[in-house]
Amino acid sequence: MSGTQLTVTLSGGGADDARTVVRALEGTFGAPDEIPADENATVHTATFDGERETGPADGGGEGSGRLSAPVSVTMQGSPEAVRRASDTLTRAFTARDDGAASGDQEQERELLLEP
C-alpha cells in the first residue's frame, strides 16, 4: 500500500450516503477507484490511490452534504493518510471516533458519522 493509498469501507445508510462520504474525501485524495453505486449493497468500499493538492480556499470536504442515516466508516492506510481522512470527515460531518489500531506500516480507524 503506497503512502497515499486509502481504503474506506462504509456501512449503514444507503448508496447515497456512501457517495456523500466519498465526495467529502475527494477534496483531499482525488477521485476514488469507483463511486459506490449498488443501491442494494449494505457495505460500500472505495480506494483512493492518489493525493490531491489542496489550496488555501479548498475546504477539503467541508459542506459536502447531509447524511440520511448514521454511517460507520473504517479507514485503512498509512498513518498520514488515515489522519488526513479522519480530519476531513470530522470537519465535514458530526463524527464519533470509535477507535484505531496500528500496525507496522498501516493504521485503521473507525468513525461513526451522524446525520
At residue 16 the predicted structure's pLDDT band, cuts being 50, 70 and 90, is very high
- Spatial distance between the Cα atoms of 60 and 72, rounded to a whole number of angstroms: 20
Strands (E), 5-84: 6-11, 43-48, 71-77
- Spatial distance between the Cα atoms of 21 and 25, rounded to a whole number of angstroms: 7
At residue 90 the predicted structure's pLDDT band, cuts being 50, 70 and 90, is very high
Q: 33-74 pLDDT, tens per residue?
A: 999 999 999 999 999 986 665 443 344 445 568 999 999 999
User: Nearest CA to 36 among 12, 62, 10, 60?
Assistant: 10
Q: What is the pTM of this model?
A: 0.85
Q: Which residues make beta-bridge pairs with 81? A: none
Q: What is the DSSP letter of 29?
A: H
- Which three cell numbers mark 31? 477521485
